[in-house]
Structure 1
Amino acid sequence: MGYTMPVEYDEELVEELKKTFAGLESPVKIHWFLDPDAECVYCEDTQQILDLVQQTSNNKVTVIKHVKSDPETRKYNIDMFPALLIHGVDEWNIRYFGIPAGYEFGAFIEDIVDASTGRVNVSPEIKEALLKYVTRPTRIMIFVTPTCPYCPLAVRAAHRFAMVNKNIYGDMIEALEFSDLADKYGVYAVPKNVIQIDGEDKLEFEGAAPDPYFVAQILQAYGVELPQKLQEQLAGLGSEEIEETVEDVHEHHHHHHHH
């Protein structure tokens, strides 16, 4: 499903989306949170993406706009703008901070399908571990750029995990739009993944990791040992599988030095 969304799109993409969205079951609501007082460079482009999705889904997907001061903003713990939140059969914390463009567009479409069916592609062992050990609000921040081909894998993992356990907030963060935050976390390569528990940074790693590795990181953040079955799965993975999935953030970013 690797479609990327340029700002201009063609009939072919429209047809592909119609085909994909024919599989939607329950209606999907996309909540779009905006801060009217802040500059939003890509809001028009985001609006185009949302319009395209709404039209090609035969209106099975609805977009609901909120401003920063709306009660929904607090209800859904939205603390940065612009933000997109995808709800379907249920309300999970499947979130996008910044535009779901470029390679992220494919992740966005897959999330919409998952939210609509409520079915999530996670192994029983992974599901069990996430449900058993992730007991507090846990935020998985995935810093991305639209041109990074591996980033959607990390975003999708965070979002699939968010569908397994509502304590998990799966957050795509577009590093160029949220450059201050990216600087704070020293994002020089993407995807960069930060795990927070109760608002406290616990650990970070780079790359699009296979599920067992990713879950091992989450459990490590909790100070929990990985269950035996997952240890075996992890042992079967080569370390190069993770390292190959990292790419440097563009040159124009992060040129200022921190003293």
Structure 2
Amino acid sequence: MRPAPAHGGALLSSEVKKAVQERFFSKLESKVTLHFFTIEFNCMYCGEIAQLYSELAELSPLLEVEVHDFERDRDAVRCFKIDAAPCTAIVGERDFGLRFYGIPAGYEFRSFLQAIVDASRGRTGLPDELRDRARAFRKPVELKVFVTPTCPHCPSMALAAFQLAVESDMVEAKVIEASEFPQLASKYGVMAVPKTIVNDVAGFEGAASASALVEFIEATLEES
């Protein structure tokens, strides 16, 4: 399921809207706010992102959208620790540290919707054993997951990062659409996606299970 052109200039067709409501938004339990940070110049998809969020917000009274100017709304930028725009902070009753940089399109649409559900519920579908290990992290963990909309293996990696951030107060997860942020992709040597970076000191390419990601984080924290 991906955003698809619809009649009347809408991004989401009636079929996609129905699927979003039935598969995702029917599971919402508390309010979620999408804090969308936009920028006036050199933003290819800011208009489409704003329209997408507006259409999504119409599908549930529990989803709200707040738009911030990245260059002018410095208090919000500091509050949500936003590094660049376009970026969306997915915030439930509290801020779990879920950030999506770029447009959540293509294969990433589903993982983005699931992150909204998890933020609303304050819990994920991770097994108890993985939740306990994630909650046992004793040092802060920042995950950067580089993705592209056309990558079929990226959503599972993005979702795993988001799930760990929901389950552990020590984890923040940034999912970054690599083609929209080429300088960041170059900085972190992104040659293929998904690529996951832990605390800017270690990383790996390719998809991995949530269990493997937890194990990699544990090893990285032990060495740091």
TM-score by length of 2: 0.90
Residue 187 of structure 2 aligns with which residue? Answer: 184
> Which of 47, 52, 58 lines up with 2:50 in the alignment?
47
- 1:16 pairs with 2:36: no
Residue 209 of structure 1 aligns with which residue? Answer: 208
Residue 150 of structure 1 aligns with which residue? Answer: 153
Task: Indicate conservation of the 8 Å contact 2:98/2:174, yes or no.
Answer: yes
Residue 170 of structure 1 aligns with which residue? Answer: 173
Q: Counterparts of 2:169 and 2:68 in 1: how far apart (Å)?
A: 22
> Which of 27, 32, 37 lines up with 1:33 in the alignment?
37
Task: Indicate conservation of the 8 Å contact 2:134/2:164, yes or no.
Answer: yes
1:87-141: per-residue Cα shift (whole Å, max 9, x none)? 11322111100110111110111111111122211222222222222422x2110
Q: Counterparts of 1:5 and 1:93 in 2: how far apart (Å)?
A: 24
1:147, CA displacement in angstroms?
Answer: 0.5
- 1:61 pairs with 2:63: yes
Task: Indicate conservation of the 8 Å contact 1:5/1:103, yes or no.
Answer: no
Q: Counterparts of 1:215 and 1:18 in 2: how far apart (Å)?
A: 31
Poorly superposed stretches of 4+, deviation over 4 Å = none
Residue 135 of structure 2 aligns with which residue? Answer: 131
> Which of 4, 7, 17 lines up with 1:6 in the alignment?
4
1:43, CA displacement in angstroms?
Answer: 0.8
Q: Which amino acid aligns with 2:206?
A: G
Q: Counterparts of 2:69 and 2:63 in 1: how far apart (Å)?
A: 20
SS in 1 for 2:103: coil
Q: Counterparts of 1:9 and 1:128 in 2: how far apart (Å)?
A: 38
- 1:99 pairs with 2:98: no
Q: Which amino acid aligns with 1:122?
A: L
Greater helix proportion: 2
1:219, CA displacement in angstroms?
Answer: 1.0
Residue 251 of structure 1 aligns with which residue? Answer: none
1:202, CA displacement in angstroms?
Answer: 1.6
Q: Which amino acid aligns with 1:98?
A: G
For the pair shown, the structure with the greater C-alpha radius of gyration is 1
Q: Which amino acid aligns with 2:3?
A: M
SS in 2 for 1:92: coil
- 1:195 pairs with 2:198: yes
1:34, CA displacement in angstroms?
Answer: 2.0
TM-score by length of 1: 0.79
Unaligned 5+ segments in structure 2 are 6-10
Q: Counterparts of 1:6 and 1:208 in 2: how far apart (Å)?
A: 26
Residue 8 of structure 2 aligns with which residue? Answer: none
Residue 82 of structure 2 aligns with which residue? Answer: 78
1:47, CA displacement in angstroms?
Answer: 1.5
Task: Indicate conservation of the 8 Å contact 1:134/1:165, yes or no.
Answer: no
Identical columns (%): 35
Unaligned 5+ segments in structure 1 are 225-259
Q: Counterparts of 2:53 and 2:138 in 1: how far apart (Å)?
A: 32
1:9, CA displacement in angstroms?
Answer: 3.2
Q: Counterparts of 1:163 and 1:72 in 2: how far apart (Å)?
A: 21
Q: Which amino acid aligns with 2:64?
A: T
